[in-house]
Amino acid sequence: MEFTAEQIAALINGQVLGNPQVKVTGLAKIEEGLEGTLSFLSNPKYEEYIYSTKSSICIVNNSFDPSKPLPSSLTLIKVEDAYSCFAKLLEAYAQMTRKQPGIEQPSFISQTAKIGEHLYLGAFAYVGDNVLIGNNVVIYPNAYIGDNVKIGDDTVIHPGATIYNDCVIGNRCVIHAGVIVGADGFGFAPNEKGEFQKVPQIGNVVIEDDVEIGSNTTIDRATMGSTFIRKGVKIDNLCQIAHNVDVGQHTAMAAQVGVAGSAKIGQHVMIGGQAGISGHLKIADGTKIVAQSGIPSTVKKADTLMGSPGIPLDDFKRSYFGFRKLPFILTKLQELEKQLKELIKDKN
């Protein structure tokens, strides 16, 4: 696909400074730009690259004032917010490269499934009994859609994703490759012999609108009722969400986060990578959890937590400073003990 600076400016309501007819066919970071690519500059830390970039077009903020001569081949598009405008272009590009409707073969659709308009179904995909699929849905090859699943409009399910029976996925969701939604929760009870007996997991997973789930993340079905991923939640790759968890609206978690069963996570919570959250607790709206932290008990008030167990960030910093001083303190303590022994010896 090929676009001129004039066309791009019209799309993002920008002002062209340079050649309005210069054409681009791809996108690139400003430091890696080549002829025929479009870049953007938002962070002042990257300003140095705009004076040497080979990109043909660069989107900049209205406030940008060059301190050096720009490359003669570079055309600028000035906008109110370069970052958000570039994100808008990326979204438009993604829509243009979206799979066109059609059903590839071999694939399987149950006769009892109800399919909306403009479905793309990739080869070797499976759609089970009584499935309801909305309009403009994209399901890539090797995806599995179990019986009684409901999928909303404009949702994209990437290759190899598995949606177990009875689960619900809302509108405009993105389910990346290898995601498993609705596998059994980790439910076992020891019998009189000390052997673990499986507790049947008869609930489901409900994913609301505008959710994105990263590759190889697993979301377990509820023992009874539902595991909930609320509207606007963003989950990174390789996360584990256990049975009966409820993740509040517009919460985000980075890779390798683990959430144990029946935890209730509030709205607008941010969770760093490899954090662990114990089961049967609640986390207050707006809480921030630093990477690799452990949360063993309920968080009643929004705060930024770090460490294991997680404590307020300022407290952790003070504690860490003390921890780093421990070798020095121990050395001093040993010297004082030695001096004390010598004093006692001299006195005797």
Instruction: Give catalytic residues, as residue numbers.
Output: 243
Q: Within 13 Å of residue 168, how many CA atoms lie on the same side as its CB?
A: 15
224's tokens: 């009874």
Q: What is the SS3 string spanning the chain?
A: CCEEHHHHHHHHCCEEECCCCCEECEECCHHHCCCCEEEEECCHHHHHHHHCCCCCEEEEECCCCCCCCCCCCCEEEEECCHHHHHHHHHHHHHHHCCCCCEECCCCEECCCCEECCCCEECCCCEECCCCEECCCCEECCCCEECCCCEECCCCEECCCCEECCCCEECCCCEECCCCEEEECCCCEEECCCCCEEECCCCCEEEECCCCEECCCCEEECCCCCEEEECCCCEECCCCEECCCCEECCCCEECCCCEECCCCEECCCCEECCCCEECCCCEECCCCEECCCCEECCCECCCCEEECCCCEEHHHHHHHHHHHHCHHHHHHHHHHHHHHHHHHHHHHC
- Residues forming beta bridges with residue 312, ordered by sequence position: 305
Cα(first)–Cα(last) distance of the chain, in Å? 94
Q: Which amino acid is at 249?
A: Q
- Residues forming beta bridges with residue 197, ordered by sequence position: 189
d(CA 243, CA 220): 5
d(CA 53, CA 280): 53
Give the closest residue to 295 by CA, choosing from 326, 324, 266, 325.
266
